[in-house]
Structures are given as C-alpha cells and as structure tokens.
C-alpha cells in the first residue's frame, strides 16, 4: 500500500522560502517519495524584498540588486533553475557611494576585507570615503581590540565598536543594503560576514587578521571577477524561475499565518487568517525573525 504524501508547509514566499520549497520538491523526486508542498505567503506576490520595476523601458531592481555568489550552492541553484546563462557580472570591480556631497569610490574590499598591500592610494580612498578623522579612528583598531563576537551577534554594533560608527553608516550599510535590503544592525555576522570571524581567529586585531587572509595580487594579474552577480531582467528573474519550479498550485498568496500549534500524531496545525486551519507533517519557517517569533 502506498503511504500518503508527507505534507510540508513553507511559511514565507521570499527567495529563501521559494528556494527551500524547490529543494524539498527536488529531494522528494530524487528519493522517490511523495510530498505535498504548500508555500504560504501573506503578500499578494512572491519574492519578499525582491521587487522589480520598469524605467525607460528597462526592468530594474527596486529592492536588492545583486547576489553575493561566493558559495557553490548558489551556482548549483542557478544551474538547476536554468538561469545560469542569464548571469550578469558588473562591468567594473569598483563601486561608489554618495557621501552627502559627491560620489566617492568605495575602497577595494573595505571594511569586510583589507588588501594584503595597504598602499597609500588605498588609504587615501578610505579618507575620501568617510573623512580623515573617521579613517584615523578605523586605523586605531589594532590598539582598540575587543572580544571575539559570536556568529549570532549583529554586525552593526560589532563594526561600530571596532572601526567606528562612520565606517558602519558610510560603508557597511550602503554595501549590505544593496544585497540584503537590510541594516547591519539586523544582520548577524555569521550570516553575512563570516570572514570577519575567521580573521579574528588569525589575529586579535580585525584589520591585521583580514590582511593575513588576503594575498598580494601579482602586478600582471587582471582584476579579479566581482563576487556580486545579478540576472538579466533583475533579480525578479530569479523569483520567477523559482516560482516556475514549484509544484503546480503550491503557492498560496494572501495567506497570513497567525499561529502554529501542535496537532494530533506529531502533526502541526497552521492557523491562516480567513481560511480553515491547515494540518501538515512539517513546517519550514522562512520569515524574518520578528515575524517568526
């Protein structure tokens, strides 16, 4: 007798929830097991913070605009979704930010990495980006060491304590905002900048540890490819590909989950506003922490 399919609910239809649902569906196919997937999204569209819009006939991102593609799993997902050929890399490895008066170049890698060869040109880029006094404050970090943070500690307070608030607001937040559409005060070090923890295992000073992790670039070497990527048509292309890979009718929009309760026989009962309760065998929460709580 064929066992009934396992009922799995994914709460949250952002990129994380969609990727989790697609992974579960594909794992079930590989294992030749039956799974009944339901993706519950409170909004009336999928994608979470990923949002596209049109400007002068071209699609642009209105939320996060790039992916940090350092992990092999990212490329595996893009390949499995059939969008690897749509990957677009920045035409330059440099980036600029508005400092309130003019556009200034972000020093290469700073502050989430530091070149092994800290040239005077690079130091001057730091000064131009955040000002002489904040740059001096950041440079004092080796003499103002603090405790090693836990992976769950927020990145914002850590950067502010180590390198100064100007580095946090002038460099870190603009960089992370374009990737995660969030503030460093709400993102954990282990999730978005694990290399900082690795650097502190090499040296009590963050800057010295980051330098030890870097390797000098040979003079004849070209610029390394940017770790940031996007897709033709913007990141909405990724959302559309994930949605298309879901089982038919799996996504339920306008489905606000208000509570999760224990059901009979080890099941879970989800209370969905305006709808009958949904009883499932397993739940994946793909929500921001405040909403999940």
Domains annotated for the chain, with CATH where assigned, are 6-89+231-292 (3.50.50.60), 96-221 (1.10.3110.10)
What are the CA-CA distances from residue 37 to residues 21, 45, 265, 275, 280 (Å)?
7, 18, 19, 17, 9
Task: Answer yes or no: is pLDDT of 40 > 50.
Answer: yes
Q: Rounded to the nearest 5 degrees, what angle is found at the Cα of 145, between the Cα atoms of 140 and 150?
A: 135
Query: What is the pLDDT at residue 220?
Result: 44
**Burial class (CB within 10 angstroms; exposed 0-12, middle 13-18, buried 19+) of 44:** exposed
Model confidence at 219, pLDDT cuts 50, 70, 90, reads very low
Top-confidence residue, 148 or 199: 199
Q: Are 6 and 35 in contact (CB under 8 A)?
A: yes
The mean of the pLDDT values for the chain is: 86
pTM exceeds 0.85, yes or no: no
Determine the 3-state secondary structure of 88 from DSSP.
strand
Q: Are 151 and 188 in contact (CB under 8 A)?
A: yes
Q: Which tens digits make up the pLDDT trace of 75-131?
A: 999 999 999 999 998 766 567 777 777 788 778 767 676 655 566 667 788 888 888
Query: What is the pLDDT at residue 277?
Result: 93
The proportion of the chain whose per-residue pLDDT surpasses 90, expressed as a percent, equals 47
Q: Are 40 and 11 in contact (CB under 8 A)?
A: yes
Query: Per-residue pLDDT averaged across 187-200, rounded?
Result: 90
- Alpha carbons 24 and 35: distance in angstroms, whole number: 8
- Which pair of structure tokens corresponds to residue 230? 């996007």
Top-confidence residue, 280 or 223: 280
Query: What is the pLDDT at residue 21?
Result: 97
Q: Which tens digits make up the pLDDT trace of 239-269?
A: 999 999 999 999 999 999 999 999 898 999 9
Q: Which residues pair with 238 in a beta bridge?
A: none
């Amino acid at each position: 007798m064929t066992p009934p399919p396992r009922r799995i609910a994914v709460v949250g239809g952002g990129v994380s929830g969609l990727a989790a649902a697609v992974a579960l569906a594909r794992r079930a196919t590989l294992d030749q097991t039956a799974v009944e997937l339901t993706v519950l999204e409170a909004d009336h569209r999928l994608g979470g913070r990923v949002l596209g819009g049109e400007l002068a006939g071209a699609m642009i991102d209105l939320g996060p605009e790039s992916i940090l593609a350092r992990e092999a799993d990212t490329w595996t997902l893009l390949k499995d979704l059939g969008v690897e050929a749509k990957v677009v890399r920045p035409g330059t490895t440099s980036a600029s930010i508005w400092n309130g008066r003019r556009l200034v170049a972000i020093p290469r890698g700073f502050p989430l990495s530091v070149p092994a060869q800290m040239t005077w040109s690079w130091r001057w880029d730091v000064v131009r980006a955040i000002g002489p006094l904040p740059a001096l404050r950041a440079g004092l970090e080796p003499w103002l060491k603090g405790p090693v943070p836990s992976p769950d500690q927020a990145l914002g307070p850590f950067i502010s304590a180590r390198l100064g608030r100007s580095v946090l607001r002038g460099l870190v937040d603009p960089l992370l905002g374009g990737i995660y559409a969030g503030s460093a005060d709400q993102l954990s070090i282990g999730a978005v900048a694990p290399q900082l923890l690795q650097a502190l295992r090499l040296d009590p000073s963050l800057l010295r540890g980051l330098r030890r992790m870097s390797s000098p670039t040979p003079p004849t070497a070209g610029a390394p490819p940017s770790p940031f990527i996007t897709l033709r048509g913007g990141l909405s292309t990724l959302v559309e590909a994930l949605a298309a890979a879901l089982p038919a009718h799996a996504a339920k929009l306008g489905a606000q989950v208000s509570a999760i309760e224990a059901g009979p026989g080890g099941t879970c009962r989800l209370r969905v506003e305006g709808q009958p309760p949904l009883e499932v065998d397993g739940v994946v929460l793909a929500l921001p922490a405040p909403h999940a709580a």
